[in-house]
Amino acid sequence: MDNIVIASRESRLAMWQAEHIQARLQALRPGLRVEILGMTTQGDQILDKTLSKIGGKGLFVKELELALADGRADLAVHSIKDVPMVLPDGFELAAICRREDPRDAFVSNRYTSLAELPAGAVVGTSSLRREAQLRARFPQLQVKPLRGNVQTRLSKLDNGDYDAIILAAAGLKRLGLEARIAALIEPDDSLPAAGQGALGIEIRAGRPELAALLAELNDADTHACVTAERSLAREMGGSCQLPLGAYATLDGDMLQLTGLLAHPDGSVVLRAQAGAPRGYADALGRAVARQLREQDADALIHAILQEA
């Protein structure tokens, strides 16, 4: 291989991610030509509806997979939290790169924390997971939908449409916008989405030479944590219609995984936690899913999907 093409969405954050992988590949293989194919996905085009109403985060991935399938691109760089829990036949994740900060970030021009917001204050988020946890902790607040790329969301805050917004800390940090973070929200208060903060590299299956190269970008610790998180989400039928959180940490060789399933209005919040050696990451995800099911998670999921 002397030339590689990366398929990427064209938002500033997505392009940062693609350029980051481009630079890492060129550092690994001096002389390797790495180009970026910018694309606009359905998820980028439909901004007047929540993701849960238009098909979920897979809309950010589909066009990039088509570029892989027809040979226009060799790999696609994704935020792992946007990648469906089950990939289409013929595709694989070749690497999961070292995780950035997985936490949610509180962003406001007037207030320093969620607890400081007065009753009736308007908080913007595009995530049912964040919304459910917000409503459970702060029922006096108004939670309203917020779509668009990072800059668009910040502009809506700056224009006074919201008193505060919740974004992924990783995206703000990668774009050099860490100063906009008024407070970081700890996982105990807002459990992250599965894979939040990590980048994944997707390729067509059956390309061993490319897979071997990309394996050099894989971070073993992040891979173990994300494997456990995605296993839990997959077992629960994870989609944008479900307020579902999954967050794993690693202490030495031991994984600790916390899972959360909630009703969007915050009236029900189920939590479960378990630990296992890193080699059992996938089984750990299934074990935490079983714990949630023992708390009637299936009945909650059925109720949520009926109301959607």
Q: Do 19 and 149 fall into the same domain? A: no
Average pLDDT over the chain reads 93
Q: Is residue 51 very low, low, confident or very high in pLDDT (cuts 50, 70, 90)?
A: very low
Q: What percent of the chain has pLDDT over 70?
A: 93
Write the CB contacts of 300 (distance below 8 Å, at least 6 apart in sequence): 261, 263, 268, 270
Judge whether 80 lies within some domain: yes
Tell me, yes or no, whether 190 lies in a domain.
Answer: no
Residue 31 placed within a domain: yes
Is the pLDDT confidence value at 54 over 70?
no
Report if residue 121 sits inside a domain: yes
In terms of domains, do 248 and 298 share one?
yes
Does residue 62 lie within any of the structural domains? yes
Q: Which entry of 2, 70, 74, 82 is annotated as an active-site residue?
A: 82
Answer yes or no: is 192 within a domain: no
Q: Are residues 76 and 203 in the same domain?
A: yes
pLDDT at 246 over 60: yes
Assign residue 225 the CATH number of its domain.
3.30.160.40
82, part of any domain? yes
Please write the tens of the pLDDT for every residue from 63-117: 899 999 999 999 999 999 989 999 999 999 999 999 999 999 999 999 999 999 9
Claim to verify: residue 163 and residue 108 sit in the same structural domain: yes
242: left (phi over 0), alpha (psi -120 to 50) or beta: beta
Check whether residue 84 and residue 208 sit in a common domain.
Answer: yes
Q: Is 239 exposed, middle or buried (0-12, 13-18, 19+ CB in 10 A)?
A: buried
Q: Is residue 268 part of a domain?
A: yes
44-53, 168-177, 255-264: least confident range: 44-53
Q: Are 260 and 238 in contact (CB under 8 A)?
A: no
Cβ-contact 143, 135 below 8 angstroms:
yes
Q: What residues make up the domain containing 255?
A: 219-308
Same domain, 169 and 85: no
Predicted pLDDT of residue 202: 97
Known active-site residue 44: no
* Per-residue model confidence as pLDDT tens digits over 108-161: 999 999 999 999 999 999 899 999 999 999 999 999 999 888 999 999 999 999
d(CA 145, CA 160): 14
| Domain total in the chain | 3
Would you say residue 261 has pLDDT above 60? yes
Q: Both 206 and 91 in a single domain?
A: yes
What CATH code is carried by the domain that includes residue 85? 3.40.190.10
Q: What is the rounded distance in angstroms from the CA atom of residue 295 to the CA atom of residue 50? A: 28
Residues 6 and 75 in one domain: yes
Confidence of residue 183 (pLDDT cuts 50, 70, 90): very high
Q: Do 93 and 206 belong together in one domain? A: yes
**Same structural domain, 19 and 94:** yes
Q: Say if residue 207 is in the same domain as residue 223.
A: no
pLDDT value at residue 47: 46
| Residues 211 and 278 placed together within one structural domain of the fold | no
Question: Above 50 in pLDDT, residue 234?
Answer: yes
